[in-house]
């Protein structure tokens, strides 16, 4: 009897600690970040300086996060959807399919820092020079290998296995009767997939994209190694004009996560209140994305019951 | 009139045939297309292995297994950094980093496994249903908080806390020959990591416990076992494979975590010495993953770059082994239970 009570007590204790940790983190970041958060902070460019009045805000880190998320998701989504379609609709139960699945599962377990140095290894190759800046010294051309393009592609590789898995689950949850109905009407298999299966699975597929976005927004290791983590945009200025967009994407910048790293006591900026301001923005974005997935998943259940 | 009609029908059937054939061709092309995409997704991991091994090759050629058996990474790093271009220093030994990775990961697991399992039991069995949804969203939120935020909080809260409460000047003087006691320590790393991996263990354990057939629980209760004994003796053993998968996934995350650990754990590859007593836990350590972030600024030196890629190789082999281990556990448990 005593054992049973102590076990239950420990379980409740563990779960209250977990909740306390989570709420504690969020409340602490809100309290600390609230002070430095205002419109000025969000809409001015940061400056690499120790002078508190000159240091500016987080406009380019926010833009950097948006750019990276856009590039990464745009690349990973069609790729992952195609793979998920193959695995759930076409793949036969044989050794090759097993190997495909194994490869994707192993990729899912690879730490992001390893994917980051993979990006460094590949994109410093002169062949990929067009993705980042090139330096010509004494006839030898060196590729910098750090840019929004490079980081975006590396991010796409990082989220790929997760998006594949979530898309596949969404596609598999579509009842077989939908497919049979469409095939019986004489539609081809591909037509059935595109017009019947994918639309029915759309909520789950959008949830997969949102999941991938969350991972890109929260990642630091890949940004530090493949984006260069300079605080400002280093392309032609002003970076936001349409004429300069290729230069912006070929050059380096920062995201919210590297801005936090830079402004934390571990980085060069060392202004924790600014770091907390940026963390607050980051956490709010993550909470919004979480609510979105919750909404999408609960919606899916309703359509399934119909 | 008749002829015209016939001709119309003929062309109609021909165009119908063409349409069918066209759609068949399109189907084939699309199938081939998604097959190619799948093959590329699966082959990426092979490319990662090849490219990273290629960059690290020189290190393993020079050091062999010594790379993971010898110590002194920090000293070798600065030797390599200041070496002249004619005589590059290829000798590296990352035993300190390996030990740092092992100690932080093990410490985090020791905290996170009971925390995760306890919370999973509360979510699935003990809590009233309104609380379950709340708890699960909290866990999901905790899982999606970026590691940089954990690093920042660790640096702002946990490191000063350790410095103020566990470290005093006498200790700092006593150990000054070994390392500086600043609060950046293995303990800080363990605490931050354990908060990061607990939600992973919870999420997978909850899924595993929910997947246990209801009849197991009903049969056990009908035999007169108490609710708690049913949980411990029936439900948890039946959910074993999922729980182990969660623990392995958490281990992988802990081993691969770079940013948060590089911020709180000290950045020096010391090997904690159990003979130091409690200072064992206060030793600044460096892990394989955080070494790559920490020393990435020195990557322009080819020897250091190769050494960091060699750390990447060790991480890659570990993570692959863990992924395979998950599969093996799944197979063994299923076989043991006689479930097809």
Question: Is the predicted pLDDT of residue A306 greater than 60, yes or no?
Answer: no
Q: What is the pLDDT of residues B22-33, one digit of tens each?
A: 778 888 888 899
Question: Is the predicted pLDDT of residue A224 greater than 80, yes or no?
Answer: yes
Which two tokens mark A218?
């929260």
CA distance B104 to B152: 18
CA distance A60 to A43: 9
pLDDT of residue A265: 82
A294 and B136 Cβ atoms separated by less than 8 Å: no
Question: Is the predicted pLDDT of residue A79 greater than 90, yes or no?
Answer: yes
CA distance A80 to B156: 39
Delimit the domains of chain B by residue range: 2-64, 94-294
What ipTM was estimated for this complex? 0.88
CB within 8 Å: A91 and B38 = yes
Residue B326 DSSP code: H
> Chain A, 4-23: which have a CB under 8 Å from a chain B CB?
4, 7-8, 10-15, 17-19, 21-23
**Residues ≥6 apart with Cβ < 8 Å to B230:** B217, B220, B221
pLDDT band for position B110 (cuts 50, 70, 90): very high
Tracing tokens 């379980």 back to the chain, one arrives at A11
A115 and A154 Cβ atoms separated by less than 8 Å: yes
Q: What is the pLDDT of residues B246-286, one digit of tens each?
A: 999 999 999 988 888 888 887 787 788 777 777 888 888 88
pLDDT of residue B2: 60
CA distance A219 to A260: 12
Q: Which residue is closest to B121 within chain A, CA to CA?
A: A11
Would an 8 Å CB–CB cutoff place A188 in contact with chain B? yes
More confident residue, A40 or B259: B259
Q: Where are the alpha helices (DSSP H) in chain B?
A: 2-63, 66-69, 73-82, 95-121, 129-144, 147-153, 159-166, 169-174, 186-210, 214-222, 227-230, 236-238, 240-256, 259-264, 279-282, 288-294, 302-337
Would an 8 Å CB–CB cutoff place B104 in contact with chain A? no
Question: Is the predicted pLDDT of residue A302 greater than 60, yes or no?
Answer: no
Question: Is the predicted pLDDT of residue A241 greater than 80, yes or no?
Answer: no
Q: What percent of chain B has pLDDT over 70?
A: 95
Between A and B, how many residue pairs show a Cβ–Cβ distance under 8 A? 260
Tracing tokens 């190619």 back to the chain, one arrives at B36
Query: What CATH class does A39-305 carry?
Result: mainly alpha
A90-94 mean pLDDT: 87
Tracing tokens 């600065």 back to the chain, one arrives at B78
B213's enclosing H/E stretch is none
Would an 8 Å CB–CB cutoff place B293 in contact with chain A? yes
Contacts of A155 in chain B (CB under 8 A): none
Question: Is the predicted pLDDT of residue A67 greater than 70, yes or no?
Answer: yes
Q: What is the pLDDT of residues A142-174, one digit of tens each?
A: 677 788 888 999 999 999 999 999 999 999 989
Contacts of A285 in chain B (CB under 8 A): none
CA distance B334 to B150: 37
Q: Beta strands of chain B (E only): which ranges?
A: none
CA distance A19 to B303: 46
Q: Which residue is closest to A115 within chain B, CA to CA?
A: B48
Question: Is the predicted pLDDT of residue A208 greater than 80, yes or no?
Answer: yes
CA distance A242 to B220: 68
**Residues ≥6 apart with Cβ < 8 Å to B26:** A188, A190
pLDDT of residue B9: 63
pLDDT of residue B329: 86
B219-240 mean pLDDT: 89
Question: Is the predicted pLDDT of residue B146 greater than 50, yes or no?
Answer: yes
More confident residue, A34 or A137: A34
- Minimal CA separation from B64 to chain A, in Å: 21
pLDDT band for position B340 (cuts 50, 70, 90): very low
CB within 8 Å: B320 and A221 = no
List the single best residue of A85, A121, A192, A259 to mutate versus B (max B Cβ within 10 A).
A121
Q: What percent of chain A has pLDDT over 90?
A: 31
B149's enclosing H/E stretch is helix B147-153
CA distance B33 to B62: 44
A67-87 mean pLDDT: 93
Burial class of B298 by CB neighbour count within 10 A (0 to 12, 13 to 18, 19+):
middle
Question: Is the predicted pLDDT of residue B193 greater than 90, yes or no?
Answer: yes
Question: Is the predicted pLDDT of residue A35 greater than 60, yes or no?
Answer: yes
List the single best residue of A113, A224, A280 to mutate versus B (max B Cβ within 10 A).
A113
CA distance B76 to B67: 11
CB atoms within 10 A of CB B150: 24
Question: Is the predicted pLDDT of residue A24 greater than 50, yes or no?
Answer: yes
pLDDT of residue A134: 67
**Residues ≥6 apart with Cβ < 8 Å to B121:** A11, B209, B231, B236
CB within 8 Å: A26 and B27 = no
pLDDT band for position B49 (cuts 50, 70, 90): very high
List the single best residue of A2, A11, A23, A58 to mutate versus B (max B Cβ within 10 A).
A11
Query: What CATH class does B94-294 carry?
Result: mainly alpha
pLDDT band for position B303 (cuts 50, 70, 90): confident
Which two tokens mark B281?
């836990």
Stated pTM of the model: 0.88
Q: Where are the alpha helices (DSSP H) in chain A?
A: 2-34, 39-43, 59-85, 95-109, 112-123, 148-172, 176-184, 189-192, 198-200, 202-218, 221-226, 245-250, 256-263, 272-305
Q: What is the pLDDT of residues B212-228, one digit of tens each?
A: 988 988 999 999 888 88
pLDDT of residue B72: 77
Which two tokens mark A237?
């200025």
List the single best residue of A16, A219, A220 to mutate versus B (max B Cβ within 10 A).
A220
CA-wise closest residue to B47 among A129, A49, A160: A160
Question: Is the predicted pLDDT of residue B339 greater than 60, yes or no?
Answer: no
Contacts of B198 in chain A (CB under 8 A): 18, 21
Contacts of A188 in chain B (CB under 8 A): 23-24, 26-27
């Amino acid at each position: 009897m005593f054992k049973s009570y102590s076990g239950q007590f420990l379980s409740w204790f563990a779960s209250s600690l977990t909740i306390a940790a989570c709420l504690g983190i969020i409340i602490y970041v809100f309290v600390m970040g609230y002070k430095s958060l205002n419109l000025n902070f969000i809409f001015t460019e940061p400056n690499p300086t120790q002078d508190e009045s000159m240091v500016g805000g987080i406009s380019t880190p926010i833009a950097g996060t948006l750019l990276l998320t856009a590039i990464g998701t745009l690349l990973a989504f069609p790729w992952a959807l195609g793979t998920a379609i193959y695995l759930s609709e076409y793949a036969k139960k044989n050794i090759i399919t097993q190997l495909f699945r194994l490869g994707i599962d192993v990729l899912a377990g690879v730490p992001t820092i390893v994917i980051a140095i993979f990006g460094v290894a590949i994109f410093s190759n002169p062949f990929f020079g067009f993705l980042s800046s090139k330096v010509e010294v004494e006839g030898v051309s060196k590729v910098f290998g750090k840019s929004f393009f490079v980081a975006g592609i590396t991010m796409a590789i990082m989220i790929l296995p997760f998006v594949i898995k979530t898309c596949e689950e969404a596609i598999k949850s579509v009842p077989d009767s939908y497919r049979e109905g469409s095939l019986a009407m004489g539609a081809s298999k591909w037509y059935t997939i595109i017009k019947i299966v994918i639309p029915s699975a759309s909520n789950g597929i959008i949830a997969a994209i949102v999941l991938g976005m969350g991972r890109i927004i929260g990642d630091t290791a890949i940004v530090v190694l493949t984006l260069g983590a300079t605080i400002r945009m280093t392309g032609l200025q002003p970076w936001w004009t349409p004429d300069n967009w290729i230069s912006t994407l070929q050059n380096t910048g920062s995201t919210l996560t590297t801005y936090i790293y830079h402004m934390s006591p571990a980085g060069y900026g060392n202004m924790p209140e600014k770091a907390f301001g940026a963390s607050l923005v980051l956490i709010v974005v993550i909470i919004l994305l979480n609510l979105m997935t919750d909404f999408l998943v609960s919606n899916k259940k309703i359509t399934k019951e119909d | 009139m008749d002829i015209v009609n016939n001709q119309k029908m003929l062309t109609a059937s021909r165009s119908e045939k063409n349409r069918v054939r066209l759609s068949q061709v399109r189907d084939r092309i699309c199938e081939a297309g998604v097959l190619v995409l799948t093959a590329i997704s699966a082959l990426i991991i092979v490319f990662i292995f090849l490219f990273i091994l290629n960059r690290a090759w020189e290190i393993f050629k020079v050091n062999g297994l010594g790379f993971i058996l010898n110590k002194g990474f920090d000293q070798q790093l600065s030797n390599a950094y200041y070496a002249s271009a004619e005589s590059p220093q290829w000798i590296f030994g990352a035993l300190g980093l390996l030990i740092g990775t092992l100690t932080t990961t093990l410490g985090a697991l020791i905290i996170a496994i009971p925390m995760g399992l306890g919370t999973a039991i509360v979510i699935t069995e003990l809590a009233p249903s309104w609380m379950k949804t709340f708890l699960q969203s909290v866990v999901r939120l905790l899982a999606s908080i970026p590691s940089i935020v954990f690093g920042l909080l660790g640096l702002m809260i946990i490191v000063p806390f350790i410095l103020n409460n566990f470290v005093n000047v006498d200790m700092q003087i006593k150990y000054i020959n070994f390392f500086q006691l600043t609060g950046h320590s293995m303990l800080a790393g363990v605490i931050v990591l354990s908060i990061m991996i607990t939600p992973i263990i919870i999420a997978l354990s909850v899924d595993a416990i929910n997947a246990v057939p209801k009849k197991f629980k009903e049969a056990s209760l009908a035999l007169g076992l108490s609710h708690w004994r049913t949980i411990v003796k029936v439900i948890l053993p039946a959910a074993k494979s999922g729980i182990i998968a969660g623990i392995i996934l958490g281990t992988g995350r802990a081993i691969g975590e770079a940013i948060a650990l590089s911020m709180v754990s000290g950045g020096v590859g010391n090997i904690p010495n159990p003979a130091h007593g409690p200072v064992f836990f206060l030793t600044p350590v460096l892990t394989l993953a955080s070494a790559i972030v920490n020393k990435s600024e020195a990557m322009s030196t080819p020897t250091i770059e190769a050494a960091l890629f060699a750390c990447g190789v060790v991480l890659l082999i570990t993570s692959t082994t863990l992924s395979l281990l998950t599969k093996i556990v799944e197979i063994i448990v299923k076989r043991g239970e006689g479930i097809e």
